[in-house]
Homo-oligomer: A and B are copies of this chain.
Amino acid sequence: MIKVGVFGATGYAGQQLVWFLNRHKNVEIEFLSSNTYDNVEYSKVYPNFYNNISINCINIKEAIKKIQSVDVIFLALPHGKSFDIVKEAVKYKTKVIDLGADYRLKDINTYNEWYKVEHNAQEYLEDFVYGLCEIKRDEIKNSKFIANPGCYTTASILALYPLVKEKIIKVDSIIIDAKSGVSGAGRAANTAVLFSECNESIKAYGIGSHRHTPEIEQELSLASGAEIILNFTPHLVPMNRGILATCYANLNKKYSLEEIKEIYKKYYKDEYFIRLVDNLPETRNVKGSNFCDIGIVVDKRTNRIIVVSAIDNLIKGAAGQAIQNMNIMMGLNDKEAIDILPMMP
């Protein structure tokens, strides 16, 4: 059995992680950590687990002491909170899967600029593999430390990766217009995400300044070989879960839809969790699952390609991909514990 501990177990991503770990046949949960709910029974915080998870949360200090006794720790913490934990994990053979942002950006200056936090553990930055499973599978297999991608990032990169890798779009023409459910904003009490503030409204936010921008640019630049700067616009949609990324780019020359689809198949045809759908994706068709659905339109009038991807932000965009990363690292089947179909409606 793989012994695991979770830091930040009572946030939305954290509890989704617990949901999967709890049903993973190779996993034993050793501790769930939450400063807010220190010493509170986990199912008091999340009554959906009533009668199924009976352990109490422990605080971060206590949890750090237990790192040496587990095989894998998961970090579902705000950025800037992982440094001490990682330093401790490094001392032992404990693997780390960080769902936060601290080890995703390889350039420390970019991190400082976008996150306004001093990075206190940059010596380990290069040990972390960017855990976008379908693209970094080989590196993940051999890694001990995973920087689990952001939610918007996952949807955006999976949509655009074949296009930039194959150099069939003008890389300065990329626009990503993304829409997210409200759980992406986390569970902290905050007027802006009250029910009556979000319901019956849609808004854009953080245009040109959202922190997932440099993350998308880093990975697409790496794939392209050229430096990519792009527009990324997130929107808040009145639904609990789901991200839809509508991605636009100018084609370098004329392509038929069939040609484009062949290219996507080349990259994704063996990937169970990526589905190249015939119609346009909808977030409801991936809700509750680890799937990323991708649909493609070639607009002959403008010679632009529009790629739409849909994920569940808390699963493929966070906890599900974290489990998938663990499965790959541990030599298990990708699908272990996360092989749940989307549930409708």
Contact = CB atoms under 8 A, between A and B. Distances in A.
A238 interface: yes
Interface stretch (A117-125, A301-309, A323-331): A301-309
Contacts of A238: 195, 199, 237-239
Contacts of A49: 341
Contacts of A189: 189-191, 194
A299 interface: yes
Nearest to A301: B229
A279 to B, nearest CB: 7
A246 B194 contact: no
A284 B308 CA distance: 26
A35 interface: no
A215 to B, nearest CB: 15
B233 A345 contact: no
A325 to B, nearest CB: 20
B207 A306 contact: yes
Contacts of A22: 341
B345 A306 contact: no
Given A175-B175, A282-B201, A194 B193 contact: yes
Interface string A237-274: 11111101010100000000000000000000000100
Contact of A199 (B195, B272, B302, B342): B195
A293 interface: yes
A332 interface: no
- State the oligomeric state as a number of copies: 4
Contacts of A287: 48, 200-201
A283 B48 CA distance: 10
Given A194-B195, A198-B195, A277 B47 contact: yes
Interface in A184-205: 187, 189-191, 193-205
A238 B199 CA distance: 9
A282 to B, nearest CB: 4
A197 B244 contact: no
Given A238-B195, A238-B239, A345-B183, A175 B248 contact: yes
A205 B280 contact: yes
B199 A240 contact: yes
